[in-house]
Amino acid sequence: MSSPVPDFPFCRILGIPFFNGPAREAVAIALRGGLVVVPSAPVLRAMAQDPFTREALLHSDLAITDSGLMVLLWRWLTRERLERVSGLEYLKLLLDEPALREPGTLFWVMPSIATMEKTLRWLNARGFAITREDCYIAPRYGPGRVGDAELLERINARRPAHVIMAIGGGVQEKLAYFLKEGAAYRPSIHCTGGAIGFLTGDQVRIPAWADYLYLGWLFRCLHRPGEFIPRYWKARKLVPLLLKYRDRPPGPPAS
């Protein structure tokens, strides 16, 4: 099953209609509400094995072309030029929106207390009215379908306009899809993963020129080789996946 045809410029890759335009326009679309995914190459690769990752990505409302590997491969395969929008660039522009500074507007899903504290200090120093009550420390979720009744209850009670998922790729998309389906209203749910860490110092800082040249992966590998080299090595399997499926969704449907 493919995603419905969106009302913005897009290019369908692996069944996902990726937004094909400038970052600022992507943010404007995201402000309408819905599920925004920023899938890395490893997450895209997982579509073939994990039907729940596949389900979440295919049911997103906006997909961002963060993966430099995907953009370059697609250009090589089809000669079609995609406008890459990195997750870091997207998050920066999103946080520049004045409306997000209002109390109760933002809700963050975090991987740890340490990350939450560092993020709160960074946001508060820049005028965001956000406290611990606007955050949720996600537990470790198992494989397969992901859900969290406690988190869903908190979001439905607080009704933030924006939920920012700052947990690992491959999990956050499935959790975000669960929230989208269970929410009693239509928030904007942004799957930006560790992008906030590039701003707070929780992850290695990536210069703007390196992000523009698709070299963010190299900075991450140099900073934490034991964590990121195996991750990006596995991403090579995206190559045969794109060669085989191109614009079609891979793998079996979720059941």
**pLDDT tens-digit series, residues 215-233:** 565 556 565 665 655 565 5
Residue 169 belongs to domain spanning: 33-245
Contact (Cβ atoms closer than 8 angstroms) between residue 60 and residue 35: yes
pTM of the model: 0.88
CA distance 194 to 168: 7
In a domain, 240, yes or no: yes
In a domain, 21, yes or no: no
Structure confidence by residue, pLDDT tens digits, 13-57: 999 999 999 999 999 999 999 999 999 888 999 999 999 999 999
In a domain, 42, yes or no: yes
Selection from 222, 221, 203, 219 nearest residue 211 by Cα:
219
In a domain, 24, yes or no: no
In a domain, 174, yes or no: yes
Looking at residue 214, what is its pLDDT? 58
Q: Domain count of the chain?
A: 1
At position 144, the amino acid (one-letter code) is: G
CA distance 104 to 221: 36
Structure confidence by residue, pLDDT tens digits, 95-146: 999 999 999 999 999 999 999 999 999 999 999 989 999 999 999 998 889 9
In a domain, 51, yes or no: yes
CA distance 178 to 165: 12
In a domain, 171, yes or no: yes
Looking at residue 247, what is its pLDDT? 93
Looking at residue 14, what is its pLDDT? 96
In a domain, 22, yes or no: no
CA distance 50 to 170: 9
